[in-house]
Amino acid sequence: MSQSLTLRRPDDWHLHLRDGAMLRAVLPETTRHFSRALIMPNLVPPVVTAADARAYRDRILDARPEGAKFTPLMTLYLTENTDPEDVAAAHAARLITAVKLYPAGATTNSASGVRDFDAVRGVLERMAGIGLPLCVHGEVTDPTIDIFDREAVFIDRVLDPIRRATPGLRVVMEHITTSQGVDYVMSQDRDLAATITTHHLVINRNHILAGGIRPHYYCLPVAKREEHRLALRAAATGGDPRFFLGTDSAPHPDPLKESACGCAGCFTAPTTLPIIAHVFEDENALERLEDFTSLRGAAFYGLRPNEERITLSKGVPIASPAHIQTGDGTVTVFDPGFPLEWHVT
Ligand code: DOR
Ligand code: ZN
């Protein structure tokens, strides 16, 4: 039986586009399928001020392929020196859609992130007042905490206390990887949501480590046990509107991944939609695909869903592109380990 599905054009609620030659190479991979994306600010140096965000947005708009209607939704990188008034002005000017909290040292380019969470209280209170969401990289950086426990410990030690201290603050737990993350969202009110990546719906920690170390499956938060992957799949394909797609597509040149100390990040932009369609079909949940990719995130952020449509059709598997070439070198595309039968037509 041939199958096809027409959806509103998706949005990606967590995307790394980088800058310069890398930006120009990876942006078309997103604009081909997505109408909007929330752009992560972890450049070097990071996107900290409204002026930084305006300049970065203009570079992204300049890098769009001919005819692409893609809208980048900008974020600011929260530091202990962030000025609440600059954030509020950027929000009022509709320049930014969220502010991103990286605990210092948690992941790629997070050195300027937050060490002392009390130091950002004023910004968070201002954000709660104006309804500007906080996107959180939810991992503690305490070196005594096992890397596989860092998300669960963050919820108890950092996130829950911040939310209790800042009533009304709207929070997105980015790229959740654990059943504790799913359960925490489900136990809370509508001010809390979570994004789920493409790769965390597909891989568990065995994919990274069993039978040889596979650096292209290494990302942060690191993939966990199978039971957690299953909890993420249930959340993504279930009926709760607070779980939506944020790919965390994060390109790095191959030599930086295939290294004695490889970078974290999976580059999923080119094949995310065929992969997600496969996952939803496996879970008998194709009727919820559009909710996850195109409706829930927009609703959380108070935006209208896209009017344009895309069609996904199931057919003969196509070989997914293994790499793309960029001005900064070759970037490997995430391999889901199954044939891609769904195509965007
Ligand atoms: O795997 C990741 N890569 N996780 C992050 O949090 C950052 C990202 C990157 O920027 O490469
Ligand atoms: Zn990310």
Q: Which residue has the tokens 């070759």?
A: 330
DSSP run (H or E) holding 127: helix 121-130
Any atom of ligand 1 within 6 Å of the Cβ of 269: no
Any atom of ligand 1 within 6 Å of the Cβ of 9: no
Give the list of residues 6+ apart from residue 331 with CB closer than 8 angstroms, or none. Answer: 22, 25, 26, 251, 252, 253, 254, 267, 323, 324, 325
pLDDT 10s digit of each residue in the chain, 345 long? 569 999 999 999 999 999 999 999 999 999 999 999 999 999 999 999 999 999 999 999 999 999 999 999 999 999 999 999 999 999 999 999 999 999 998 887 888 899 999 999 999 999 999 999 999 999 999 999 999 999 999 999 999 999 999 999 999 999 999 999 999 999 999 999 999 999 999 999 999 999 999 999 999 999 999 999 999 999 999 999 999 999 999 999 999 999 999 999 999 999 999 999 999 999 999 999 999 999 999 999 999 999 999 999 999 998 778 999 999 999 999 999 999 999 998
Ligand 1 pocket test target in 38, 139, 154, 219 with most atoms within 8 Å of CB? 219
Ligand nearest to the CA of 177: 1
Q: Is 83 a catalytic residue?
A: no
Of 161, 202, 181, 159, the C-alpha closest to 340 is: 202
Query: What pLDDT is attached to residue 55?
Result: 98
Give the list of residues 6+ apart from residue 183 with CB closer than 8 angstroms, or none. Answer: none
Query: What pLDDT is attached to residue 2?
Result: 60
Considering 11, 248, 328, 335, which one is annotated as catalytic? Answer: 248
3-state secondary structure of 193: strand
Ion ligand 2: residues, Cβ under 5 Å: 248
Q: How far is CA 185 from CA 16, 106, 176, 224, 230, in A?
A: 24, 21, 10, 18, 16
Amino acid at 26: V
CATH number of the domain to which 53 belongs? 3.20.20.140
d(CA 281, ligand 2 centre) in Å: 26
* Cα separation, 187 vs 340, whole angstroms: 35
Any atom of ligand 1 within 6 Å of the Cβ of 14: no
* pTM of the complete model beyond 0.95: yes
Instruction: Let me know how long the chain is.
Output: 345
Ligand 1, residue 218: give the atom nearest the CA.
Answer: 1
Two tokens, residue 63:
């890098």
* Cα separation, 324 vs 111, whole angstroms: 28
Ligand 1 pocket test target in 102, 214, 257, 263 with most atoms within 8 Å of CB? 263
* Tally of domains in the chain: 1
* Cα separation, 19 vs 202, whole angstroms: 28
d(CA 199, ligand 1 centre) in Å: 12
Any atom of ligand 1 within 6 Å of the Cβ of 16: yes
- My answer on whether omega of the bond before 221 falls inside 30° of 0, hence cis, is yes
| Residues of the domain holding 291 | 3-344
